[in-house]
């Protein structure tokens, strides 16, 4: 199975900050990467697929980038409603696998 | 809009079987898409378990070996998860989720989840 590593399990941010969350695959996943947002008590919500394609309804302050093994999710000007845990997921090979999550907390 | 809702027992004894239902509204599960089960363990690790497709075919995570079965009732527009020989390590929140095309395995619609505890 491909291992997905999110190096930061959590970090503290301030409202209005630009935030970058990283995800590294154990092998090349050819941009077959999705990002999810999960708030406490809720299911994950798909934000981005194909490493860069924003889902309908997702605010434009979210963006994805990367290639090969290394990918990032960026949030410009963090809003209160963005405080959540973010997961990456590869779907280059089966089984699809998830990163361990990165939790954003307000300073 | 399509909506998914999980249901089933919240407590299962070790060595027994875990059985959950996902009820789908707003779309026929035989019209398209792939219908998945995903679980989230305490500590938040997510694991894809398997799917049943619109045409009834299955694909399972090899880690679950012969313990898993995903079936459906098309008359009720429901699909089901059965996990045999459960242990305390199967304690998790179980989600059903939709995947669009059987090729790009990301999940765009999720149920709210149901928590299952395995304990005697």
Given this model, what pLDDT does residue B100 score? 87
C-alpha B64/C-alpha B117 separation (Å) is 18
Q: What is the pLDDT of residues B54-98, one digit of tens each?
A: 999 999 999 997 999 999 999 999 999 999 999 999 999 999 999
Residue B59 contacts A, CB cutoff 8 Å: yes
- Residue A32 burial (CB count, 10 A): 21
Q: Which residues touch A56 (CB under 8 Å, ≥6 apart)?
A: none
Provide mean pLDDT across the span B30-42: 97
Given this model, what pLDDT does residue B80 score? 98
Given this model, what pLDDT does residue A30 score? 98
C-alpha B74/C-alpha A86 separation (Å) is 34
Are A44 and B105 an interchain contact pair (Cβ–Cβ within 8 Å)?
Answer: no
* Backbone dihedral angles phi then psi of residue A80, each to the nearest 5 degrees: -55, -40
For A43, the closest chain B residue by CA position comes to: B112
Q: Which residues touch A29 (CB under 8 Å, ≥6 apart)?
A: A2, A68, A69, A90, A91, A92, A93
Given this model, what pLDDT does residue B101 score? 83
Residue A64 contacts B, CB cutoff 8 Å: no
C-alpha A103/C-alpha A47 separation (Å) is 15
Q: What is the pLDDT of residues B93-105, one digit of tens each?
A: 999 999 988 888 9
Given this model, what pLDDT does residue A105 score? 94
How distant is the Cα of B22 from the closest Cα of chain A, in angstroms? 14
Residue B113 contacts A, CB cutoff 8 Å: yes
Q: Which residues pair with B92 in a beta bridge?
A: B116
Provide mean pLDDT across the span B30-35: 96
Are A43 and B111 an interchain contact pair (Cβ–Cβ within 8 Å)?
Answer: yes
Task: List, for chain A, all residue ranges whose pLDDT scores fall below the cut of 50.
Answer: none
Residue A34 contacts B, CB cutoff 8 Å: yes
Given this model, what pLDDT does residue B102 score? 82
Residue to test with chain A: of B50, B106, B114, B115, most A Cβ within 10 A: B106
């Amino acid at each position: 199975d491909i291992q997905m590593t999110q190096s930061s399990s959590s970090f503290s941010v301030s409202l209005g900050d630009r935030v970058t969350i990283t995800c590294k695959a154990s092998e090349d996943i050819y941009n077959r990467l999705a990002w999810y947002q999960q708030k406490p008590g809720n299911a994950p919500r798909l934000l981005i697929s194909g490493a860069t394609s924003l889902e309908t309804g997702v605010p434009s302050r979210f963006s994805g980038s990367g290639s090969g093994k290394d990918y990032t999710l960026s949030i410009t000007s963090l809003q209160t409603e963005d405080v959540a845990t973010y997961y990456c997921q590869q779907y280059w090979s089966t089984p699809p696998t998830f990163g361990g999550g990165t939790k954003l907390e307000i300073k | 809009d399509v909506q998914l809702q999980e249901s089933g027992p919240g407590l299962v004894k070790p060595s027994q079987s875990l059985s959950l239902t996902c009820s789908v509204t707003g779309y026929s599960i035989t019209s398209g898409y792939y219908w998945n089960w995903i679980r989230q363990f305490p500590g938040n690790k997510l694991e894809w378990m398997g799917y049943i497709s619109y045409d009834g075919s299955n694909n399972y995570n090899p880690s679950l070996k012969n313990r898993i079965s995903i079936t459906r009732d098309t008359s009720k527009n429901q699909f089901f998860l059965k996990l045999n020989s459960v242990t305390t390590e199967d304690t998790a929140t179980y989600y059903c989720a939709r995947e669009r095309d059987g090729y790009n395995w990301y999940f765009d619609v999720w149920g709210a989840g149901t928590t299952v505890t395995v304990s005697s």
